[in-house]
A and B are shown apart, each in its own frame.
Chain A
Amino acid sequence: MISRLRYTLREMWASLSRNLTLTVAAVITSMVSLFLFGITLLIQQAFDNQLSQWTGGVQMVVYVNHDAQPEAVATIKEALESRPELIKNVEYCAVDCSLAQAKKLFAADPESLKFLSEENVPSYFAVEPVDKNQIQQLLSIRDSFTKLPGVYKVAFPSDQIAVLGKLKSFFGVRTYVMSGVLLFASILLIWNTIRTAMFARRREIEVMKLVGATNWFIRLPFMLEGLLQGLAGAVFGSALLLLGNADWTSGVRKFPTNAGLGGFVVTDGYPIKVVFFMVLLGAFVGAVGSATAASRFLDV
């Protein structure tokens, strides 16, 4: 068993070093394709984060008229709470609460801060819908509440959400297609590397078959070679992804917090999950490419 393992590893290493140019090409292609795949997942997650930032917390704000009586405010609250199928949570922010929020928002802008007072800051209801992603449903809620007495206006970031949704879909489709094409190219390149390696060693394979080596014994070093190429591509691609993500994160954090870009930072262990998936995918790409070649070209 140990002698077989030693033989397999030795032959795999010898083949890798003999076939260096093709090996490097296969590793680079796997690296680029897996990096692109990983970055696609991160971009998708970044859009999800950003969308949930828009749609989470305050999804819709119902501003109340300055002159609205407490009865009108109570009617608005009652109307909002009477739609539990559409509205999950309602929080009232009176004028003093609203003023405190506004002061936080304009903390970096002393000129605007000067003009803030209880007279020009409206009280409002922060409304959280049941389904945050159904923009049409949210728009219908907005329209029905705009007509309520005492309501000044209903603000809802529908345009921003729609743009972000479209961008997510645009990037998602294109980057998934590109990474899919590149992953296929990686499989082909690994397949070709193994084919070349087997052709270079056709005499050895012939002798091995004649002296009674099993097909699995002959195939195994070639299959491990392909597996290693896929894994190496995944490891380098993952390192590139983590470095790129760290660079992006530090770049985004230099922007002011109210710039609205905070959601585009992907942290909380998600990049590590992506890396784990990339390594699995790299191993799969290497194994598929080499196993098909090793089976197809055994009769050299």
Chain B
Amino acid sequence: MIRLENVTKTYSTEVVALRDASFDVAKAEFVFLVGPSGSGKSTLLRLMNREERPEKGSVWVAGRNINEMSDSKVPHLRRNIGNIFQDYKLLPNRTVHENVAFALEVIGRPKHVIRQQVPAVLDLVGLAGKQERFPHQLSGGEQQRVSIARAFVNRPLILLADEPTGNLDPATGEGIMRLLDRINKTGTTVVMATHDQRIVNMMRKRVIQLDRGIIVRDQARGVYE
């Protein structure tokens, strides 16, 4: 599903975010990207989403080299990738339903599809009764569930999650991880950057560890070291 071949990304001559990184992620795989701040986890996610381009190497997503993709094709690539963020990035003046529907509306999905898919995904993430609430009326965990619902409502092939439990207490974080695991079991590939040792150890999924832009460990059913 995702392939990185000798990818190097530098932000200036002195800051090398990623150096000669190569790995494959299979369909329906769950991968943790771990490492200290500045190790290159977020850069990796941004490269997979074509928010950045590498100086060297190539990034393949769903069989296509996305570095060579024209800018006009990028929106279509992103319709196959869901994004989840630590700060949720919800629209404060829209309700839960509107926040999720927004993701379908702006890619031109018809109204009857939106009416059908939004309640279904809100039910999946456990927010069935809260669709008319605004983000400020929800807890952090609930806001992250809205963010996941928005990322998943279009049934993407891949979910990229950047520290999704970073702002949550351990119990709420565990709930979010159970939800992501459930989504992963539907066949969606999940790549998650995290600092959360407890969660990585609990899930026992593949772990790719980065240190100053270099992949130092790639371990199946790994733990946080």
Bound CA span A15–B78, Å: 26
The answer to whether A3 touches B109 (Cβ under 8 A) is yes
Q: Which chain B residues have a beta carbon within 8 Å of chain A's beta carbons?
A: 49, 71-72, 75-79, 83, 89, 91, 102-103, 105-111, 150, 154
CB of A208 closer than 8 Å to a CB of B: yes
The answer to whether B110 touches A212 (Cβ under 8 A) is no
Selected A-B contacts with CB under 8 Å, 12 pairs:
A3-B108, A7-B106, A206-B89, A207-B150, A211-B150, A211-B154, A212-B76, A212-B79, A212-B107, A217-B106, A217-B108, A218-B106
The answer to whether B91 touches A207 (Cβ under 8 A) is yes
The answer to whether B111 touches A212 (Cβ under 8 A) is no
Contacting B at CB under 8 A, from A54-113, are: none
Interface string of A217-247 (1 = CB under 8 A from B): 1100000000000000000000000000000
The answer to whether B106 touches A210 (Cβ under 8 A) is no
The answer to whether A211 touches B107 (Cβ under 8 A) is yes
Question: Given A207-B103, A213-B75, list of 7 further CB < 8 A pairs?
Answer: A3-B109, A203-B91, A204-B91, A211-B79, A211-B102, A212-B76, A212-B78
A7: which of B75, B89, B105, B150 is its contact (CB, 8 Å)? B105
CB of A273 closer than 8 Å to a CB of B: no
Bound CA span A211–B78, Å: 6
Top 8 closest pairs, chain A to chain B, by CB: A212-B79, A212-B78, A213-B106, A211-B103, A212-B75, A214-B75, A208-B106, A210-B83
Q: Name the residue of chain B whose CB is nearest to the CB of A207.
A: B89
Cβ–Cβ < 8 Å partners of B75 in chain A: 209, 212-215
Cβ–Cβ < 8 Å partners of A218 in chain B: 106
Q: Which chain A residues have a beta carbon within 8 Å of chain B's beta carbons?
A: 3-4, 7, 203-204, 206-215, 217-218
Cβ–Cβ < 8 Å partners of A3 in chain B: 105, 108-111
Cβ–Cβ < 8 Å partners of A4 in chain B: 108
Bound CA span A13–B49, Å: 32
* Given A3-B105, A7-B105, A203-B91, also A209-B110 (CB < 8 A): no
Cβ–Cβ < 8 Å partners of A214 in chain B: 72, 75
Most buried by A among B77, B108, B109: B108
Q: Name the residue of chain A whose CB is nearest to the CB of B153.
A: A211
A211: which of B72, B106, B111 is its contact (CB, 8 Å)? B106
Cβ–Cβ < 8 Å partners of B91 in chain A: 203-204, 207
Instruction: Report the minimum CB–CB distance from B197 to chain A (whole Å).
Output: 28
Bound CA span A213–B79, Å: 8
Instruction: Report the minimum CB–CB distance from B177 to chain A (whole Å).
Output: 22
Cβ–Cβ < 8 Å partners of B72 in chain A: 214-215
Cβ–Cβ < 8 Å partners of B49 in chain A: 210
Cβ–Cβ < 8 Å partners of B106 in chain A: 7, 208, 211-213, 217-218
Bound CA span A206–B108, Å: 17
The answer to whether B102 touches A207 (Cβ under 8 A) is yes
Bound CA span A206–B78, Å: 12
Bound CA span A239–B116, Å: 48
Instruction: Report the minimum CB–CB distance from A19 to chain B (whole Å).
Output: 15
A213: which of B77, B89, B107 is its contact (CB, 8 Å)? B107
